[in-house]
Structure 1
């Protein structure tokens, strides 16, 4: 690489960048609900509204538009986890040149299909961006292609820097900080190069996931630090080694960094959806997650924060995971393992203690004749509330373990509570639909005769108007008729699943 460019040289390159042949000036939109919740004025730079649903189009096109006719004639090659690939493919289509795109095998199919639809020739190689990068460099040598780097190139960096130019044009009042996700560093390098040249008082904050934090580690070490492995949930930022030029610019221009957990990214996706009805990909939501975390850590109030919503290439099948983890990530769900004595009335007493608080999960399976272990999820206002709830359970005689931060519980155990029990040989199993409102379980327990024993209970809030609940009951033979009267009085739809072969295979 030639001698590093100074700030004025980058400013000139950004001001003259050729991005608007294909890219659009995206809106700077106020996130009113999020702003009200965190007590700061949050603005979203909507790069998810680009033609390829990502900011990457800017840098890719600027680089390719500046190539000579001979270089474009030979074709280009790039390595990308998806968004840069789409930018290169669309740019190649517009400029009339061949594009070979090397993508990790872990890339979501949505992005692979989008690249192919734009005319790019896709080669899948390796499990991360770094693996794909090595293969793309081999193809560059073999075929004489021009390599279009996704981040470590001054022309690419300058293209991304036009985002900073637009932000300052769109919001001319005070801005405390601008937040940008970091993979290889092209986005934050370009944005910082422009903003620090024009309005140096604005802080530039980089955001990475805790399992893909190559830039944070590199800045702390004073040199580029390669990661042995990277987390793939935020695939758009899964980079093992940041660029040389992006590292130089980040060390010089970026004020601070935030590392966020997966749950925080999921919560940020939900935050943006609630304000815009748009769904960001994990990497696209990192800046929002970082802004929330930074504001909380620094105890900011009344400040203007800009988060670059940098991409929306989300696979639909990931939404289930995002919805599941967002509740904990936004500190609205607390998880507990609660032990109750295995005797009549214990479950009802626990529910009375929970009171009108909304249940998010309630799983129980009879195990022995002394005690029962319940997996309980409760709606909370903030994470600190889980500790207070745990104290309340313990003070009322219910031993408890707070599982709110436990990865095993969130990923696996919540879906595995149950199984066979020798004490449940005489149970019958019923599937109910409870109205999704506080007190529905308490009404069920209050109306149930005290001599009926609950041997199994499974409930999970799915976000609908009704909750699907599976209940195992041990009812004396001479009171089976009374069960019909009980369900009729409740008014909850009920289906007998005792003969269901799945129940008999796994729970009986």
Structure 2
């Protein structure tokens, strides 16, 4: 690799260009595919391509920068080994680079690092040392050890050699598609964005390079506001691959000079992008890996972009499997395909059916309700948590809100309320404040248009529903949990169930019902 000047000397653009062109990363990394996303392209009216860095041996672009720096170490430095701090993709990149180059690697990881990431690093030959409760404590310890043991510290982003290694992504992009109009790049510490931007602006300056940050980890935006790198007071951890408290000094200098624009996205928008990637190319991106697509989509909307060739970088796919539950739940909200409302409806038979009919054929995606004694309650009516599927985004959401208010219902839009989406939706209900002669049933029915309305029309006007939970998960079958206050004979009740024709199972003796919900 071409020798770069020390970091303090701030290598010029030509030095970076030579370093990127000469980077020997393909001894371990691969030239990843640039795929079209036909479904999203048609939907958004632009030609959209995804750079598949998730297909690297370590499932992220980080191997490029790690290998570029480590391959440039002297023989003496290689013999002493290297050390770094990371809780994720950089750790695996350093470990694999060390294995390929025959260099001992020590990776300091926070004590709370999931086992799956620890085992991944070990599988690539890295020695794991657990220290500290967070990345900053792990990093401080790694730097201390590197000084004591005379080992080279391999930073995750703020070093010219690392930046040059990441810049090879930009080189591949213009080799694979010479007619790009814009490239969207995720930003954590800024190494990838800096490398791609300086390469593109040297070779094809007409291509716009747009940086994308998570709103709760926007360290570059904070640096722009402060005219220099600053520490964020707190950093959100959902997109952990870009959860960086402070932008690098060198990456800040390069991003400030060479980036064309910067856009911020929230967690719901990232979740929607994860789903888009899966729908189009069947890849499961980690949240930070889908960050640049979330920015691309938002940028198109804000600037009314049409008929352009747009590329984004799927930067990694080291997804914690359990995160998928959250992603799935929030993707529809991020795409403005679902709205959440708190609504007060009359505490009487048939009120839910009347509410659904009021929606004019729109699909209800979720309904949470538990009976309350209105004589003792401060609220005059039943408070329900309801989700509604949208086809026209924010405009339709506002229409529904106005429509419900015009019918005299008390309604609050919770679609942008983080506490409601994160916690309250799962806590709606509880125990009624009087004893009820109720029985609990679970139902399964074909998830077709009108199936829920049929349920309500058959049972909701004849029986007092005292508990109700429904959530559409986009599967073939819908599932409802409902309790009924039975003042009728059981044979008459079962006659209604037979008339309904849906599969059902009685859950009255379920211990969870006793523990949390029974009156």
Separation of aligned partners in 1, 2:17 and 2:28: 21
Separation of aligned partners in 2, 1:83 and 1:506: 41
Match of 1:46 in 2: 52
CA offset at residue 454 of structure 1? 0.9
Separation of aligned partners in 1, 2:237 and 2:130: 16
1:77 aligns with 2:83: yes
1:217 aligns with 2:228: no
CA offset at residue 244 of structure 1? 1.3
1:411 aligns with 2:422: yes
Match of 1:358 in 2: 363
CA offset at residue 127 of structure 1? 4.3
Which of 31, 34, 39 is matched with 1:28 structurally? 34
1:440 aligns with 2:490: no
In structure 1, the residue corresponding to 2:9 is in which secondary structure? coil
1:371 aligns with 2:377: no
Tell whether the 8 Å contact from 1:375 to 1:417 is kept in structure 2 after alignment: yes
Tell whether the 8 Å contact from 1:206 to 1:258 is kept in structure 2 after alignment: yes
- Taking a change above 3 Å as real, the CA distance of residues 182 and 127 of structure 1, as seen in their structure-2 partners, is farther
Match of 1:494 in 2: 504
Counterparts of 1:57-206 in structure 2, within 5 Å, are 57-173=63-179, 175-206=180-211
CA offset at residue 434 of structure 1? 2.5
Tell whether the 8 Å contact from 1:77 to 1:148 is kept in structure 2 after alignment: yes
Tell me the alpha carbon deviations over residues 40-84 of structure 1, each in whole angstroms, 9 at most, x when there is no partner.
Answer: 221111111101000000111111111111111110001223111
Match of 1:296 in 2: 301
Structure 2 residues not aligned, in runs of 5+: 1-6, 375-379
In structure 1, the residue corresponding to 2:403 is in which secondary structure? helix
Separation of aligned partners in 2, 1:337 and 1:112: 43
Tell me the alpha carbon deviations over residues 83-118 of structure 1, each in whole angstroms, 9 at most, x when there is no partner.
Answer: 111111001001111000112345443322210111
- Taking a change above 3 Å as real, the CA distance of residues 238 and 125 of structure 1, as seen in their structure-2 partners, is farther
Counterparts of 1:467-482 in structure 2, within 5 Å, are 467-477=478-488, 479-482=489-492
Number of matched residues? Answer: 506
Match of 1:459 in 2: 470
- Taking a change above 3 Å as real, the CA distance of residues 124 and 385 of structure 1, as seen in their structure-2 partners, is farther
Which is worse superposed, 440-449 or 135-144?
440-449
Structure 1 residues not aligned, in runs of 5+: none
Match of 2:401 in 1: 390
Tell whether the 8 Å contact from 1:426 to 1:474 is kept in structure 2 after alignment: yes
Which is worse superposed, 216-225 or 46-55?
216-225
Separation of aligned partners in 1, 2:462 and 2:121: 63
Tell whether the 8 Å contact from 2:356 to 2:364 is kept in structure 1 after alignment: no
1:4 aligns with 2:14: no
CA offset at residue 449 of structure 1? 7.1
Tell whether the 8 Å contact from 1:54 to 1:83 is kept in structure 2 after alignment: yes
In structure 1, the residue corresponding to 2:324 is in which secondary structure? helix
Separation of aligned partners in 2, 1:97 and 1:46: 28
Tell whether the 8 Å contact from 1:109 to 1:315 is kept in structure 2 after alignment: no
Which is worse superposed, 96-105 or 48-57?
96-105
Separation of aligned partners in 2, 1:371 and 1:449: 16
Match of 2:242 in 1: 237
Separation of aligned partners in 1, 2:428 and 2:335: 24
CA offset at residue 501 of structure 1? 2.3
Match of 1:484 in 2: 494
Tell whether the 8 Å contact from 2:349 to 2:465 is kept in structure 1 after alignment: no
- Taking a change above 3 Å as real, the CA distance of residues 128 and 209 of structure 1, as seen in their structure-2 partners, is farther
Runs of 4+ more than 6 Å apart: none
Separation of aligned partners in 2, 1:105 and 1:223: 31
Counterparts of 1:420-435 in structure 2, within 5 Å, are 420-423=431-434, 425-435=436-446
Tell whether the 8 Å contact from 1:110 to 1:313 is kept in structure 2 after alignment: no
In structure 1, the residue corresponding to 2:252 is in which secondary structure? helix
Separation of aligned partners in 2, 1:398 and 1:225: 48
Tell whether the 8 Å contact from 1:53 to 1:311 is kept in structure 2 after alignment: yes
Which is worse superposed, 225-234 or 441-450?
441-450
- Taking a change above 3 Å as real, the CA distance of residues 449 and 198 of structure 1, as seen in their structure-2 partners, is closer
Separation of aligned partners in 2, 1:449 and 1:86: 56
Tell whether the 8 Å contact from 2:353 to 2:460 is kept in structure 1 after alignment: no
Tell whether the 8 Å contact from 1:430 to 1:471 is kept in structure 2 after alignment: yes
Separation of aligned partners in 2, 1:114 and 1:72: 23
1:337 aligns with 2:337: no
CA RMSD, 1 decimal:
1.4
CA offset at residue 131 of structure 1? 2.7
Separation of aligned partners in 2, 1:35 and 1:389: 29
